[in-house]
Amino acid sequence: MEQLPCQKALDRVIAYLRGSGINPGVNECCTALELIGHALQQAPDGDCLSLVMELLPQYFELPQPKLTLEAGPELLRGSMGYE
Amino acid sequence: MSDRAPQKLWRWRTVARIRRSLLALLVFGQTAVASYYLLWIMPYHGGTPVEIGLLVLFALLYAWIAVGFWTAVVGFVLRLTGGDKHSLLNRYSSDDLEHTPLVNTAIVLPVYHEPVHWTLSGLKAVYHELERNGQIEHFEFFILSDSRNPEIWLQEQAKWHQLCDELGAHGRLFYRRRGVNLNYKSGNVADFLRRWGRRFKYMVVLDADSLMSGRTLVRMVQLMEREPQVGILQTNPSIINGQSLFARLQQFGNRLYSSLFATGLAAVQMGHAAFWGHNAILRVEPFMQHCGLRKLRGFGVFEGPIMSHDFVEAAYIGRAGYEVWLEPGLGESFEESPPTLADELSRDHRWAKGNLQHLWILCFGRRICLAHRMTFLNGIMAYVASPLWLAFLALTTVAAAQLTLSPIEYFPAGHEGLFPLWPEWRPQWALTLALSTLALLFAPKFLAIIDAIIHGLAKGFGGPWRLFLSVWVEIVFSVLLAPIRMLAHSRFVIASMLNVSLSWAGQNRTEETGWRDALITQAPGLAMGGSWAVFAWWLDVSFFIWSLPVAVPLILAAPTSVLLSRVRVGQAIRRAGLLLIPEELAPLPLLKNAAENRAQPASRGSLGHFEQAVLVPLVHQQQLALARPNRHSRRAARLNGLVDQCIRAGPAALNKKQISELCEDRVALAALHRRAWVAPTESYWGQAIARL
């Protein structure tokens, strides 16, 4: 039996949360359903996936990686000498 | 070099001059005597062109092995008398060194398609060491990647990020990937120096498999602070982590014999030592000022970027008036051996070409001192000795064939005089000469046993008897390997001189050698060894027996290669208590730590690293932060096309360069993430999400 668009959307939300390091519990599932309900209302043709993924960060507090990464310290340029 | 101490400088140079003169006297004196023996052993006493050729080749090869022998003897004697009192380390008490303040030092790790988890887990252990020593604040770490394959460099970045988090090393552990790879590893390091060189007084260069203890790193900086005229200080790395029989033989030989050879070498070279490219500390300012490597302007192999940069850099910094020291006493410096013969030979292929390039600098390099020119010659001879040996065997065969098949020439070409030249044979002299050659080759191995027993180190090798047995095992395999290496190196030298690229099978660094690969790779040697033995048998039985030490290893090359690559055999040998090294019986905390780090699971899930960078939100965010924000309109249009293609058909539709471009561009990567997450379930990305 083919999955309904809302089922697909729920699968994606759960997968995204897991990929973000969140193990979805009851609260997260309820919030996901709320998000999908909202998206379904906004997307009357039933294809709500794009909207769900767009709104997802507004519904969940996604963990952010420590992005203070510096690929290198401040440059202090010099040159190589060729004799 | 304001702090230069002229008296000290004068002193070591005088000592070096005396030692080198003595070494030259011993080597050339012994070679002259041996050549004289050969001259009288040969039936016409050098009266034919073949005999003259044999004599010249013999003298060159004999002198070459005599250098090794006397270097080991010097090392043995010095160790017996308490070490070289002129070495850098012996100039200071431990207390003096410990009270020498440290300065800002970079630890750089150039990588190019190395096993990421393994390599960076080793770096983590080095970082831990300096933390344990309480000296981490004086060091900064740089991973300098030249990797092109996105699956590898994305993994490098992810692992670097993980390390920064685990170690709390944000702002101390850095990652830089070059956009354009120029001039191999030296170009990679030069790029680092151009960006950040002026931040640091010293730079420690590591290889992907290098490990160095915090104690040694700290001591190196302290020595450099104490000796401002030293430009490069090289440690003598011990080989560790050998699993296959081949790697275990290499690490055993290195660990046991190198104490003699390295001590002897350091004593002869003194402040004119070589740089081996890693496990060394460099004084950054003079290195930047004097060690830029121009492309060679010769022809063929002598044209283009310098491949083996280290010897040249040592010569250049020496030319600028700085000293280069090898300090075996530093210890706790490690590297690894290639796991198989095929891996070693593929590495030798590169090194042979690189070392031959040094011939150009040896001949035409300006103001390079004789000692550094001798280092070039030493490196060149490490490979050129093989074709010389091959030529010697070929001439021996010609001489034997002439004696057997042709009538005796009483008046050979070039012989002038009324009286005939009577051929003479002196089998006893021949035996003496053969025994003296064997002694040069094998005596250092037995000196190393005596050295280990005298210094109470035999226990670390499993005890005196196991040590003795292990040396015999090592000798058997080194005899089996010598003709195989000789043939392969001859091929590499000829290919390099003709500037043609020859492939050598077996580029893996982890897998064992299969029978098929071994048979294909060793087929030329098998054919040559077999036909030579048959010809020798047909010619003369005694010549056949003489040919066996070379012919048999060539005939057995394939099984030897397969057997040596087997980890199971290596482990069985270890269980039998043979080929042990002290670091296995009592591992240092550094080695334990590195082994534990490397034993941790490496990969995350079933997705590739590109898929992770696109899909996994945390990884994607990290990658996004490192990607470039700027894009020109033409480039943007091209990248948009690549994003479309990648979403439609998956990464298989793109090549590695295109995938790299997408990952390097912040907008393209964000678009990929957004579109992949809304892709249909049955699409490539939909399936990838299901595997998350």
Distance separating alpha carbons of residues B233 and B87, to the nearest angstrom: 11
Nearest Cβ partner for A80 among B288, B616, B618: B288
The pLDDT, as a whole number, for residue B601 is 82
Q: How far apart are the CA of A10 and the nearest CA of chain B, in angstroms?
A: 12
The pLDDT, as a whole number, for residue B416 is 67
Tell me the one-letter amino acid at B415: H
Which residues of B sit within 8 Å Cβ distance of A?
A: 140, 142, 161, 164-165, 170-171, 174-176, 190, 193-199, 288-294, 316, 319-320, 615-618, 621-622, 625-626, 674, 677-678, 681, 689-690, 692
Nearest Cβ partner for B689 among A15, A62, A68: A15
CB contact under 8 A, B170 and A68: yes
- What is the mean predicted confidence (pLDDT) over B361-384? 96
Q: How far apart are the CA of B582 and the nearest CA of chain A, in angstroms?
A: 39
The pLDDT, as a whole number, for residue B414 is 64
**Torsion, Cα of B118, B124, B130, B134 (10° steps):** -160
Q: Structure pTM?
A: 0.91
Distance separating alpha carbons of residues B170 and B568, to the nearest angstrom: 41
Nearest Cβ partner for B171 among A3, A65, A70: A70
Q: How confident is the model at residue B402 (pLDDT cuts 50, 70, 90)?
A: confident
Name chain B contacts of A39, Cβ cutoff 8 Å. Answer: none
Distance separating alpha carbons of residues B130 and B238, to the nearest angstrom: 20
Name chain A contacts of B289, Cβ cutoff 8 Å. Answer: 81
CB contact under 8 A, A69 and B291: no
Q: How far apart are the CA of B652 and the nearest CA of chain A, in angstroms?
A: 23
- Which A-chain residues 20-59 have CB contacts (< 8 A) with chain B? 20-21, 49-50, 53
Kindly identify which residue of chain B lies nearest to residue A73, measuring between CA atoms: B171
Q: How far apart are the CA of A43 and the nearest CA of chain B, in angstroms?
A: 14
pLDDT tens per residue, range B509-560: 557 889 999 999 999 999 999 999 999 999 989 889 989 999 999 999 999 9
Distance separating alpha carbons of residues B653 and B641, to the nearest angstrom: 12
The pLDDT, as a whole number, for residue B501 is 67
Q: Tokens 């990607």, residue? A: B627
The pLDDT, as a whole number, for residue B425 is 64
Distance separating alpha carbons of residues B433 and B59, to the nearest angstrom: 12
- What is the mean predicted confidence (pLDDT) over B559-585? 96
Copy the structure tokens of residue B267.
Answer: 């004593």
Q: How confident is the model at residue B502 (pLDDT cuts 50, 70, 90)?
A: low
Do the bridges between strand B202-205 and strand B280-283 make them parallel or antiparallel, or are there none, so unpaired? Answer: antiparallel
Q: How far apart are the CA of B165 and the nearest CA of chain A, in angstroms?
A: 8
CB contact under 8 A, B288 and A81: yes
Distance separating alpha carbons of residues B431 and B237, to the nearest angstrom: 38
Name chain A contacts of B618, Cβ cutoff 8 Å. Answer: 19-21, 63, 65
pLDDT tens per residue, range B382-397: 999 999 999 999 999 9
Name chain A contacts of B154, Cβ cutoff 8 Å. Answer: none
Q: Among the listed ranges B180-184, B316-320, B652-656, which one has the minimum average pLDDT value? A: B180-184
- What is the mean predicted confidence (pLDDT) over B266-287? 97
Q: How confident is the model at residue B153 (pLDDT cuts 50, 70, 90)?
A: very high
pLDDT tens per residue, range B79-111: 999 999 999 999 999 999 999 999 999 999 999
Q: What is the DSSP letter of B173?
A: E
Nearest Cβ partner for B316 among A65, A69, A83: A83
Kindly identify which residue of chain B lies nearest to residue A65, measuring between CA atoms: B618
- What is the mean predicted confidence (pLDDT) over A8-30? 92
- Count CB pairs under 8 A between chains A and B: 101
* Contacts of residue B689, Cβ cutoff 8 Å, sequence gap at least 6: A12, A15, B615, B676, B677, B679
Nearest Cβ partner for A75 among B140, B196, B292: B196
Name chain B contacts of A18, Cβ cutoff 8 Å. Answer: 692
Nearest Cβ partner for B290 among A19, A79, A81: A81
CB contact under 8 A, A78 and B193: yes
Q: Tokens 């507004």, residue? A: A58
Mutating which of A76, A80, A82, A83 best tests the B interface, going by the most B Cβ atoms within 10 A? A80
**In this model, does residue A25 exceed pLDDT 60?**
yes
| Whether the Cβ atoms of residue B127 and residue B93 lie closer than 8 Å to each other | no
Name chain A contacts of B292, Cβ cutoff 8 Å. Answer: 80-83
| Whether the Cβ atoms of residue B609 and residue B157 lie closer than 8 Å to each other | no
- What is the mean predicted confidence (pLDDT) over B330-358? 94
Distance separating alpha carbons of residues B571 and B629, to the nearest angstrom: 51
**In this model, does residue B281 exceed pLDDT 50?**
yes
CB contact under 8 A, B692 and A80: no
pLDDT tens per residue, range B403-451: 888 766 666 666 666 666 666 667 778 888 889 999 999 999 999 999 9
The pLDDT, as a whole number, for residue A46 is 63
Share of residues in chain B with pLDDT > 90 (%) = 82
Q: How far apart are the CA of A25 and the nearest CA of chain B, in angstroms?
A: 18
CB contact under 8 A, B170 and A73: no
Distance separating alpha carbons of residues A62 and A60, to the nearest angstrom: 6
- Provide the b/e sequence for B310-330 (b: ≥16 CB within 10 Å): bbbbbbbbbbbebbbbbbbbb
Given CB atoms, is A3 within the 8 Å cutoff of chain B?
A: yes
Nearest to A37 by CA among A14, A9, A12: A9
Distance separating alpha carbons of residues B77 and B90, to the nearest angstrom: 16
CB contact under 8 A, B289 and A15: no
Q: What number of other Cβ atoms are within 10 A of residue B515's Cβ?
A: 11
∠ CA B69-B73-B79, nearest 5°, is: 145
**In this model, does residue B507 exceed pLDDT 50?**
no
Q: For B319-356, give the secondary structure using H, E and C.
A: HCCCEEEECHHHCCEEEECCCCHHHHHHHHHHHHHHHH
CB contact under 8 A, A72 and B176: yes
**In this model, does residue B244 exceed pLDDT 50?**
yes
**In this model, does residue B631 exceed pLDDT 80?**
no
Do the bridges between strand B280-283 and strand B296-297 make them parallel or antiparallel, or are there none, so unpaired? Answer: unpaired
Q: What number of other Cβ atoms are within 10 A of residue B496's Cβ?
A: 23
Mutating which of B361, B618, B647, B663 best tests the A interface, going by the most A Cβ atoms within 10 A? B618
Q: How many residues does chain A have?
A: 83
Tell me the one-letter amino acid at B459: K
Distance separating alpha carbons of residues B162 and B127, to the nearest angstrom: 14
| Greater model confidence, B499 or B52 | B52
Backbone angles phi, psi at B18, to 5 degrees: -65, -45
pLDDT tens per residue, range B11-61: 899 999 999 999 999 999 999 999 999 998 888 888 889 999 999 999 999
Q: How confident is the model at residue A6 (pLDDT cuts 50, 70, 90)?
A: confident
The pLDDT, as a whole number, for residue B9 is 59
